Amino acid sequence: METKVLDQTELVNQVIDVIVSEGMVDRDKVTLDATIESLDLKSIDIVMILTAIEEKFDVYIPMDGPFHEAKDIKSLIDAIAGYIIKEKADRT
């Protein structure tokens, strides 16, 4: 089985897709500089987003991770991407 390495743009787009579907927000509003508050994402939305990302990428993201400090989408994606990249690297 070949492990596909995601490039950064593809990873960002896939995470944004999950944010849009699980957070039920308009895709046009989900920009890297959009704040979590401006998207009206609540704690439960973040949990649903993280759960969906764990399933999609087959990774574990601890609920007490650095994404809690994220104030904007870029910070959130960076924190999530860190887990995805680390976990995929640990498997190779």
pLDDT for res 6: 60
| Span between the terminal Cα atoms of the chain, in Å | 11
Q: Tens-digit pLDDT profile for the chain (92 aa)?
A: 334 456 888 889 999 999 999 999 999 999 999 998 999 998 899 889 999 999 999 988 887 767 778 889 999 888 888 888 887 777 76
Could you tell me the residue range of the domain that residue 86 belongs to? Answer: 8-91
Residue 76 lies in a domain: yes
Residue 1 lies in a domain: no
- CATH number (domain holding residue 84): 1.10.1200.10
pLDDT for res 1: 35
Residue 19 lies in a domain: yes
- Which candidate, 45, 80, 43, places its Cα nearest to that of 61? 80
Count of structural domains, the chain: 1
